[in-house]
Amino acid sequence: MADLQTLEIPIKGMDCAECTQHVQHAISKLDGVKSVDVLLGTEKAIIQLDPDKVDMPAIRKAVANAGEYSVPETAPLPQTQPAGNFNRQLMTLLAIVFGVVLSIVIAGEWLGMFKFLENFVPFPIGVLIVIAGGWPIYRNVIRATLKRRIISHTLMTVGVIAALVVGEWVTAAIVVIFMRVGEYVENFTTESARRAVKELTAIAPQTARVERDNSEVEIRVVEVKVGEIVVVRPGERIPVDGEVASGQATIDQASITGESMPIEVAKGGHVFAATIAKLGSLRVKTLRVGADTTFGRVVKMVEEAEANRADVQRLADKFSAYYLPIVAGIAALTFLISRNPLSTAAVLVVACSCSFALATPVAMLASIGGSAKRGLLIKGGKYLETLARADIVLVDKTGTLTLGQPQITDIVPLNGLSHDDILTLAASAERYSEHPLAEAVRVAARAQNLKLDEPQNFESIPGMGVRANINGSPVAIGNRRLISTTDSLAVVKQLEEQGKTLLFLSHNNQLAGILAASDTLRPEVPAAIAELRSLGIKKIELLTGDNERTASALAEKLGVEYHANLLPENKIEIVKDYQAKGRVVVMIGDGVNDAPALAQSDVGMAMGAAGTDIAIEAAHIALMREDWTLVPQAFRIARRTMGIVKMNLAFTALYNVVGITLAAFGILPPVLAAAAQSLPDLGILSNSARLLRQK
Active site residues: 396
E-strand ranges in 189-297 read: 207-212, 215-220, 229-232, 241-252, 263-265, 270-271, 276-288
Note whether 365 and 197 are within 8 A (CB): yes
Q: Is the dihedral of CA 211, 213, 216, 217 positive or negative?
A: negative
Q: Which long-range contacts (CB under 8 A, 24 or more apart) does 523-529 make?
A: 524/627, 524/628, 524/629, 525/401, 525/558, 525/628, 526/558, 527/629, 528/628, 528/629, 528/631, 528/632, 529/558, 529/559, 529/560
Cβ neighbours, 10 Å, residue 324: 19
Q: How far apart are CA 196 and CA 641, in angstroms?
A: 15
- Among 49, 41, 34, smallest CA distance to 19 is for 41
From the centroid of its chain, how far is CA 607? 15
Relative to beta strand 392-396, strand 585-589 is parallel
* Chain centroid, CA 627 distance in Å: 18
If one counts every other C-beta atom within 10 angstroms of the C-beta of residue 670, the result is: 29
Evaluate the CA torsion angle 225, 229, 234, 240 in order and state its sign.
positive
CA distance linking residue 348 with residue 659, whole number of Å: 10
Q: Are 72 and 8 in contact (CB under 8 A)?
A: no
Separation of alpha carbons 590 and 59, rounded Å? 42
CA–CA distance from 266 to each of 70, 241, 279 (Å)? 48, 15, 12
Q: Which of 557, 524, 531 is nearest to 542 (CA)?
A: 557
**Is there a contact between 630 and 637 (Cβ–Cβ < 8 Å)?**
no
- The C-alpha atoms of residue 297 and residue 177 are separated, in whole angstroms, by 43
